[in-house]
């Protein structure tokens, strides 16, 4: 299969570091003195706070109730005292409510446990409701409420479930940690999703560096409904759901009937593992498994971080260097520079890259486009990054949308990676999309 013609155009082959034992280690992050919890940590409506300043809460206790269909509840990441409910920027020109929580020093921080769920015992509707009540959202970077995606997939009669075990960013190592440390959770989570969707056997897709760990996880289980393992040769950005489905639909998967991309739904391995962990132990979502990477950290690796932890506190626990220059939200291909280290960890975060000052100094300056076409050849969606880049510089955002399908770009970074002129195309496209969305919102308000 490795010699097959790729199922999608473009893309790049990155030099992937070999897996090491440290990739499977997950360290527990201590509690920061102050946790700041935005009420809206997902796509959709914000939950409504049910606590007030001065309230003492237990770890896992409900802080905000989901009233709208598109909302998920928010739970206390630590036992402590609610200091107040304030406001902070949402990063898009608006504000969002924030609960400030001070963990109690010396508390055991034992989580509150509710009813445990079992896909062999509980029916599909019970499992779907339980998934919502845990507060979980997509942990592959999109942050959409998981219960909504499942409900839509049920409505349209989805026939195949794909578990995406491909790292979204080079240098991140959540996949080997999940396979090695949370194998039982992955398998339980897969069965829960299968029960909700009325499907029996999902496909677990991952790339070659993680194949051995996946086979070891499956070999340890006696479950007869184990996922079908499909190992793909490394190719970035193969982990994007649209591209992964296109790749899998074009391959002959042993034990799986042929299917088209519109017949399947994709959930990240992290989401599946978290569903299994929360449901089988009767827990709610109070922390997040993330990767802290980069040459600006002495103790880079995987950490389980309480929600609301300031990024600066987390980086300090990972041994941030004094000469830290820049921190990226996300990885080196798709990440954006973080404006403040006071930003709290939220649901859906995948990782942060801390860059030392000497690394930043080596980045070359952008030059004029030479029309070489390398970015066009690298784009996995067959867009025209060079033309869009020229329009972005002229501020012609509407033309980028109308004629060059700007909204389809998912900012994988392939175009910027191969650009010999070092033009920051991804940042330009992200900014243009932000302008376009704000213009659309203003037009809708004017029409109303």
pTM (predicted TM-score):
0.92
Q: What value, to the nearest 5°, has the Cα angle with vertex 205 and ends 228 and 207? A: 130
- Edge-first strand listing for the sheet containing 80-89: 35-38, 95-103, 80-89, 56-57
Q: What is the pLDDT of residues 318-336, one digit of tens each?
A: 999 988 889 999 888 988 8
Same domain, 149 and 247: yes
pLDDT of 33 higher than 70 = yes
Q: Is residue 23 part of a domain?
A: no
Answer yes or no: do 121 and 80 share one domain.
Answer: no
Is the residue at 17 inside a domain?
no
Do both 230 and 160 map to the same domain? yes
52, two tokens: 């007030």
> 306: burial class by Cβ within 10 Å (0-12, 13-18, 19+)?
buried
Domain final residue, candidates 246, 262, 281: 281
Sheet holding 287-293, edge to edge: 26-28, 301-306, 287-293, 351-356, 324-329, 336-337
- Do 314 and 248 have their domain in common? no
Q: Is residue 189, in this structure, part of any structural domain at all?
A: yes
- Do 331 and 390 belong to one domain? no
**Structure tokens of 117?**
């769920």
Tell me if 16 is assigned to some domain.
no
Read off the pLDDT of each residue in 102-117 and give the average, rounded to a whole number: 94
| Range in 121-135, 310-324, 358-372 the model is least confident about | 358-372
**pLDDT at residue number 16:** 72
Taking 60 as the threshold, does the pLDDT of residue 360 lie above it? no
pLDDT at position 285, please?
Answer: 97
Would 22 be classed as within a structural domain?
A: no
Q: Is the same domain home to 405 and 314?
A: no
Same domain for 150 and 263, yes or no, is yes
Computed over every residue of the chain, the mean pLDDT equals: 91
Identify whether 271 is part of a domain: yes
Q: Is the pLDDT of residue 7 over 70?
A: no
Please check whether residues 143 and 250 belong to one and the same domain: yes
Where is the domain boundary, 363, 392, 427? 363
- Identify whether residues 97 and 124 lie together within a single domain: no
Q: Are residues 320 and 387 in the same domain?
A: no
Report the alpha-carbon distance of residue 314 to residue 298 in Å, rounded. 13
CB 290 within 8 A of CB 350: yes
Could you give the maximum distance between any two Cα atoms of the chain, in Å?
A: 63
Look up the domain containing 355 and give its range: 287-363
Q: Could you tell me if 238 and 382 lie in one domain?
A: no
Residue with the two structure tokens 């600006």: 296
pLDDT band at 355 (very low <50, low <70, confident <90, very high): very high
Average pLDDT over residues 345-364: 80
* Confidence band for 413, pLDDT divided at 50, 70 and 90: very high
> Does 369 map to a domain?
no
Count of structural domains, the chain: 4
Section 423-445 average pLDDT: 89
CATH code, domain with 252: 3.40.50.11540
First to last CA, the chain: 54
Question: Where a domain ends, among 223, 251, 281?
Answer: 281
Closest by alpha carbon to 248, among 272, 227, 224, 232? 232
CATH code at position 73: 2.40.50
Of 212, 204, 113, nearest in space to 165 by CA: 204
The tokens describing 195, both together, are: 């029960």
- CATH code for the domain of 329: 3.10.20.600
Which helix (H) or strand (E) element contains residue 336? Answer: strand 336-337
- Residue 357 within any structural domain of the chain: yes
**88 and 172 belong to one structural domain:** no
Q: Is the pLDDT of residue 417 over 80?
A: yes
């Amino acid at each position: 299969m490795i010699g097959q013609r790729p199922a999608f155009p473009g893309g790049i082959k990155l030099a992937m570091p070999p897996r090491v034992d440290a990739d499977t280690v997950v360290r527990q992050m201590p509690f920061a003195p102050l946790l700041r919890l935005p009420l809206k940590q997902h796509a959709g409506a914000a939950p409504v706070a049910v606590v007030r300043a001065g309230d003492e809460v237990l770890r896992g206790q409900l802080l905000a109730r989901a009233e709208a269909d598109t909302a998920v509840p928010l739970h206390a990441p630590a036992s402590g005292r609610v200091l107040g409910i304030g406001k902070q920027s949402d990063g898009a020109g608006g504000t969002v409510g924030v609960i400030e929580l001070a963990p109690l020093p010396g508390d055991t921080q034992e989580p509150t446990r509710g009813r445990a769920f079992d896909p062999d015992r509980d029916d599909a509707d019970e499992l779907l409701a339980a998934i919502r009540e845990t507060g979980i959202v997509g942990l592959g970077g999109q942050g959409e409420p998981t219960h909504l995606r499942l409900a839509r997939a049920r409505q349209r009669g989805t026939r195949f479930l794909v578990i995406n075990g491909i790292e979204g960013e080079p240098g991140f190592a959540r996949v080997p940690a999940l396979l090695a440390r949370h194998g039982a959770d992955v398998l339980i989570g897969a069965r829960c999703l299968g029960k909700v969707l009325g499907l029996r056997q999902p496909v677990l897709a991952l790339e070659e560096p993680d194949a051995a760990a996946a086979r070891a996880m499956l070999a340890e289980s006696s479950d007869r409904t184990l996922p079908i393992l499909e190992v793909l040769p490394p190719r970035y950005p193969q982990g994007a759901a649209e591209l992964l489905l296109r790749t899998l639909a074009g391959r002959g998967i042993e034990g799986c009937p042929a299917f088209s991309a519109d017949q399947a739904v994709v959930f990240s391995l992290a989401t599946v593992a978290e569903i299994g962990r929360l449901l089988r132990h009767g827990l709610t979502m109070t922390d997040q498994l993330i990767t802290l990477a980069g040459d600006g950290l002495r103790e880079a690796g995987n950490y389980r971080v309480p929600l609301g932890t300031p990024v600066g506190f987390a980086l300090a626990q990972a041994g941030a260097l004094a000469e830290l220059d820049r921190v990226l939200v996300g990885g080196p291909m798709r990440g954006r520079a973080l404006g403040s280290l006071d930003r709290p960890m939220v649901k859906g975060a995948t990782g942060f890259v801390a860059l030392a000052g000497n690394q930043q100094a080596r980045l070359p300056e952008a030059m004029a486009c030479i029309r070489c076409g390398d970015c066009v050849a690298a784009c996995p969606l067959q867009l025209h990054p060079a033309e869009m880049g020229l329009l972005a510089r002229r501020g012609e955002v509407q033309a980028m949308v109308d004629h060059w399908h700007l909204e389809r770009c998912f900012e994988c970074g392939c175009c910027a990676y191969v650009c010999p002129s070092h033009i920051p195309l991804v940042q330009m496209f992200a900014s243009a999309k932000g302008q376009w969305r704000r213009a659309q919102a203003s037009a809708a308000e004017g029409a109303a």
